[in-house]
Amino acid sequence: MENTTPEATVEKIKEQIAENPILLYMKGSPKLPSCGFSAQASQALMSCGEQFAFVDILQNPDIRAELPKYANWPTFPQLWVEGELVGGCDIIIEMFQQNELQPLVKEAAEKHKSAE
C-alpha cells in the first residue's frame, strides 16, 4: 500500500463523504462488524431500509488516523449524512429509538435517487 500523506487522506475522506449521501465509518462491515458499537450502529442503519455506504477503518489505517481530526469526533463509528456528521453510536441509537434516524436516512436516499 502506498504511503499516503495526511493531506491526501483528508482529500479521500472528503470525496467519500461527498459521493455517499449515507456513509458509515465503522470497524468491520455491516455483515461482519468488528466492534459492538459498529454492530449496533450498522444494525440501526440497516433497519432504516435504505442502501448506505460504509468504510471499514480497520482496512484503512490512514483514514482511521485522520478522520477523528477531520471530523473533530474522536471515536468510531461515525455516521455522515449528506456531508454532515450525524454522530457516533450513542447518537445513532438514540435517533433511531426516537424515530429521527429513519426520516433523515430516507430523505437522503430519496434525494440521491432522484438525482441519478
Q: Which residues are annotated as a binding site?
A: 27, 35, 64, 76, 89-90
Q: Are 24 and 46 in contact (CB under 8 A)?
A: no
Binding residues for glutathione: 27, 64, 76, 89-90
**23, β-bridge pairs:** 53, 80
Q: How far apart, in whole angstroms, are the C-alpha atoms of residue 97 and residue 93? A: 6
Which residues does the annotation place in the binding site for [2Fe-2S] cluster?
35
Q: Which helix (H) or strand (E) holds 13?
A: helix 6-19
